[in-house]
Amino acid sequence: MKFGGSSVSSAARMREVAGLILAFPEERPVVVLSAMGKTTNLLLLAGEKAVGCGVIRVSEIEEWNLIKDLHIKTVEELALPRSVIHTMLDELEQLLKGIAMMKELTLRTTDYLVSFGECMSTRIFAAYLNKIGVKARQLDAFDIGFITTDDFGNADILEATYPAVAKRLHGDWIRDPAIPIVTGFLGKGWKSGAVTTLGRGGSDLTATTIGKALGLREIQVWKDVDGVLTCDPNIYPNATTVPYLTFEEAAELAYFGAQVLHPQSMRPAREGDIPVRVKNSYNPKAPGTLITKQRKMDKVVLTSIVLKSNVTMLDIVSTRMLGQFGFLAKELDHVVEELEKIAVVHLLQQRAIISLIGNVRRSSLILEKAFQVLRKSGVNVQMISQGASKVNMSLIVHDSEAKQCIKALHQAFFEDDVLTEVEEEALHMS
């Protein structure tokens, strides 16, 4: 069970999360936590200020005070002794002083700096569980076998991690059964031995890695949304939850900007064929989204609509490019300047990609309906692509029209009860 930053952003939220874990008394979960709320961003800002201000008086850095106050307040509200995080806060203060003295913040030090977020949230939460009579054990991922590349800020998990983590967690459980509370997002560089971070979606990756290492039945990713949605609710509030997805669909959604899951973080679950369930810690009764390797597609037309705004389109017209494959890769540095020597280049800015994630066996049907909708809205599609992916069709429109397109498409595909003749026909044929 992985809980994101907003799920553990305060003492009240931590109590809620403890309740969710206790709601499955017959299960033996491994719990993975992110840092509390916006702590990671605050740590990064505190580090930057320490470099810039050159003062050794860390007490003047506002972000450091916010971090300290949040964690002390949480510990007090949960009626825990301050000693739970006392050492961590002292170490963090010393680190910021060191950064201020050196006037330098390397990638390696940055990873060590942000690791304090997860190290503190897990210590507080494990102490709270133990206090309410649920036996728990706090574990730093970099101490239990998460072995990574030394690519600070965006490290990759190495294969050796799986047996190492499995051995440690099994051994701990046999020796002294307790719920493991593991730091998300962190690892240990295999050459440097230093703390590394796993990049975007890193805590989800921690959870899927543990799931694969232990061969678990299910990986639950608890967020602050009801699962994966049919479109971005900020663009159109009528978005609904997508109950089932394949890993392939989830990867496409993530690639085209849906913020719920990062494709890299799903890889271990996909390899280990372990279902991932996305749930809402603010609304635990909602069924969420279940992501599996395969699902029945015979009734599926469209799954979700994703918008990627502020895209630049490069329109290249040339006869001299015929057979000249590979030229773009060589000239990307000054691509427009170079291309103008061999072609007429139009740089079209303020465009948006609308991706229709769905059943590509129905691509003609989906596109027919989409174009009907866009024609009625008076929108001209400027480019269309159905790439190598088996689940995605993309249309490019002007940025200014994109949001109304999403709304109109969502209404047509997800809200109108009347199936078009084409859809009726397709369903009968299947």
**Domain-terminating residue out of 197, 216, 235:** 216
Residue 403 domain boundaries: 302-315+350-429
Residue 104's domain is classified under what CATH number?
Answer: 3.40.1160.10
Q: Cα angle vertex 140, ends 274, 179, to 5°?
A: 60
In this prediction, residue 396 carries a pLDDT of 92
Number of domains in the chain: 2
Tokens 């701990």 sit on residue: 172
Q: Among the three residues 185, 216, 247, which one is the final residue of a domain in this structure?
A: 216
Burial of 225 (0-12, 13-18, 19+ CB in 10 A): buried
pLDDT in tens, 137-153: 999 999 999 999 999 99
CA distance 275 to 29: 15
**Mean of all residue pLDDT scores within the chain:** 89
Region for residue 101 given its phi and psi (left: phi exceeds 0; alpha: psi -120 to 50; beta: otherwise):
alpha
- 334 falls within a domain: no
N residues, the chain: 430
Percent of the chain, pLDDT > 70?
90
Residue 343 lies in a domain: no
- The answer to whether position 203 is within a domain reads yes
The 10s digit of each residue's pLDDT in 235-255 is 999 999 999 999 988 888 877
Q: Partners of 220 in the beta sheet?
A: 277
pLDDT over 90 at 364, yes or no: no
Show Cβ contacts of residue 327 under 8 Å, excluding neighbours closer than 6 positions.
321
Residue 234 within any structural domain of the chain: no
Same domain, 175 and 59: yes
Shared domain check, 32 and 152: yes
| Burial of 193 per CB tally in 10 Å (0-12, 13-18, 19+) | exposed
Q: What is the pLDDT of residue 417?
A: 61
* 133 occurs within a structural domain: yes
Residues 85 and 123 sit within 8 Å (Cβ to Cβ) = yes
Residue 143, in any domain of the structure: yes
